[in-house]
Structures are given as structure tokens and as C-alpha cells.
Amino acid sequence: MNVDILIAFIGATSALAISPGPDNIYVLVQSITNGKSHGLATVCGLITGCIIHTTLLAFGVSALIKTNENLFLGIKVLGALYLIYLAYKVFKSDDQLNLDSDSVPKKSLKGLFVQGFFMNVLNPKVTIFFLAFFPGFLFSETIPRLYQFYILGAIFMLVSFVIFSIIALLAGQIKSYTLNHNKSGLFLKWLQIVVFLGIAIFILL
């Protein structure tokens, strides 16, 4: 088992969870608008949805690997190219964080959990991202790859849960900081770009 690959996966997952994206921005806005408990309910829904994507990836890609190793290599190359494309999209995007909470309706904690779950499960971009991200971090020649995907999925969910929860709990301070530091959005934008490109290079090499 290659522990270095697992450490790299934890680092990459942490950087991705910190970088501003639709999910953690939504958690942040919910926490700012309706309170920390509502942000945490959203987090739980989003993370639970990752179980579905992990299962689809684990069974689907594991079956493909058994059929054709070259096809698996093709998946990793396409995954790296997709991450480079995501980096390009971030580069072309605005560097301002949109924390407008005026149009956020208040829902029950159960409603936010369900919404977070379906936001994640029904988003095809999450499936594509998992397909691009996970195969490059398989870490063992002896552990069945099906189990490896589930282990990576569990790590991804745990790390994301911790960081998203911190975002929910510190929502007020995060908003104040971003409003008082004009370049924070630019820094987070380039953090995303570096993370996407770094993961892509790691997968290719």
C-alpha cells in the first residue's frame, strides 16, 4: 500500500474543499442567512450524496479495469484533461465571491438535508469529477480496486465534511474577511487553478 498516494489524496481533497465552488458557497450562504445549523444540515446532505457517486464509480470503473487496462489508462488521461479544462474555466471566471443571501429561502433542517443530497446526486458534473479525480489515486496492488474506491470515497467524504462544517461554523467571520480583503477572491481563484492543474499533472505522471 502506497501511503504517500493516500496523503496526496487527502491534501488534494482538502484543497478542493477549501476552494470556492457551488457546494461550499451554498453552505456558506445558508449559514450566513439562516444560521449554522442550517449550513450543517446542508453539509450532511451534500456529503451523503457522495455515497451514490462513490458506488457508481467503484462498480463501474472496477468492471472496466477487469475488462481492459488500456481503457482504464484512457479514463485517467481524459480525467486529467477534464481537470485542465476546469482550471481553464476558473481562469476565465470572475474573481469575486458571490455571497448574496437576499434570495435564499428559509427551509427546515430536513428540507436542507434533502436538498443538499439531491443537489449532489443529480449533478452530473459531480459524477464526471469523481471519475476524473479518483482513478489517479488508487494506492495498492493487493487491495481489490472496488475496496480502494470505497476507501477513497470515505476519505473524500470525511475530509469534505470536516472542512465544510468549519465553513458553516465560521460563516460570519469568512464573510467579514472576504468583504474586508478585496484580493481574497483572487487568491481563492488561483488556489482552484493550481489545485486542478496539480491533480491533473499528478494523474498524468
Q: Tens digit of pLDDT for each residue in 57-85? A: 888 877 777 677 777 788 888 888 888 99
Residue 159 binned pLDDT confidence (cut-offs 50, 70, 90): very high
pLDDT of 33 > 60? The answer is yes
pLDDT of 105 > 60? The answer is yes
Percentage of the chain beyond pLDDT 90 is 34
Q: What mean pLDDT is reported for the chain?
A: 86
Residue 185 binned pLDDT confidence (cut-offs 50, 70, 90): confident
Residue 150: C-alpha distances to residues 67, 168, 172, 184 (Å): 20, 26, 34, 35
Top pLDDT among 181 and 1 is at: 1
Q: Decide: residue 6, CB within 10 A, 0-12 exposed, 13-18 middle, 19+ buried.
A: middle
Q: Decide: residue 78, CB within 10 A, 0-12 exposed, 13-18 middle, 19+ buried.
A: middle
Residue 50 binned pLDDT confidence (cut-offs 50, 70, 90): very high
pTM here?
0.86
Residue 104 binned pLDDT confidence (cut-offs 50, 70, 90): low
Neighbouring CB atoms inside 10 A of 71's CB total 11
Q: Which of 35-49, 75-89, 95-109 has the highest mean pLDDT?
A: 35-49
Q: What is the pLDDT of residue 107?
A: 80
Average pLDDT on 40-62 reads: 91
Write out the three cell numbers for 67: 475488462
Residue 166 binned pLDDT confidence (cut-offs 50, 70, 90): very high
Residue 103: C-alpha distances to residues 25, 40, 106, 152 (Å): 14, 19, 10, 36
- CA–CA distance, 141 with 147 (Å, rounded to integer): 12
- CA–CA distance, 67 with 104 (Å, rounded to integer): 47
Q: What is the pLDDT of residue 49?
A: 93
Top pLDDT among 152 and 173 is at: 152
- CA–CA distance, 39 with 72 (Å, rounded to integer): 38
